[in-house]
Amino acid sequence: MRTMRLGSSNLEVPVVAVGCMRINSLEKSEAERFVQAALEEGANFFDHADIYGGGTCEEIFADAIHMNDDIREKIILQSKCGIRKGMFDFSKEHILNSVDGILKRLKTDYLDVLLLHRPDALVEPEEVAEAFDQLESSGKVRHFGVSNQNPMQIQLLQKYVKQPIVANQLQLSITNATMISSGINVNMENESAINRDGSVLDFCRLNDITIQPWSPFQYGFFEGVFLGSEKFPELNQKIDEIAAKYEVSKTTIAIAWILRHPAHMQPVIGTMNMDRLKDCIQASEIRLTREEWYSIYRAAGNILP
């Protein structure tokens, strides 16, 4: 699979990340086959979070991949912390305790990347800075990032945190593309012109922060997938047409649409179906034309001024 640089780090990563939120839906033998098949395809970047399955997803993954020193050198592990029941918590104590739990469950001594999972309204960035310093100096975490944060929130964090923010996980799909549409409809009096995220797309590009799109096949907030949905007939017709041209699946084209954007994003794929994951990986070999990219954008109901 094609690779890319993660943010401003020296970490070379696959352009498609394997999301492990649903790995607890697999039987042990199925999980083993899935992770091994992913590795064979070059998909060695695995995204976790301490809340996925209440921590069981990290445990299942570690068992499925038969974690040892040799395996650890061949994979890239990212996890997230900060979500607690009914609240968010970026306190120093919670971050440090969370990372210790993550490492124990993953059976490893370090994370390649730690993300703060969604914004905490009560964040004290000085505490985050202390936690990051301790995690870095101890060797427990090598790189740091955030999730669903806007530019001002990241800038506030960076005022105190000395480590570069290398990634920002944000919801993005063909049908959930407000971070793109607001930039296209600048100065227009329409719904698409509303800037909902402080121009986070441009901010991340300017500051060498890799955007990791999550739910790249979903519309709304986990309302369903747009591929094959009767709610998006024109979009599916267009995707099918372009998929036929390249002789690939419509899944491949949906990911190729994201990868075509010059921001060099790294979509996080949540499927536990190996065939579908292979389709996503195949997207790294396809570069849509400008005409194809815009035709898909418009077919989803997005407008051009």
The single residue of 52, 110, 160, 294 carrying the catalytic annotation is: 52
- 246 catalytically annotated: no
Neighbours of 93 (CB within 10 A): 10
Query: Is-contact 152 135, C-beta < 8 A?
Result: no
DSSP letter for each residue of 215-254 = -TTEETTTTEESTT-TT-HHHHHHHHHHHHHHTS-HHHHH
26 residue type, one letter: L
List Cβ neighbours of 249 (8 Å cut-off, separation of 6 or more). Answer: 243, 279, 282
Tokens of 64: 């499925």
Task: Catalogue the E-assigned strands of 15-97.
Answer: 17-19, 45-47, 76-81, 83-84, 87-88
Phi, psi of 79 (to 5 degrees): -140, 170
Residue for token digits 């649903």?
22
Active site positions, annotated? 52
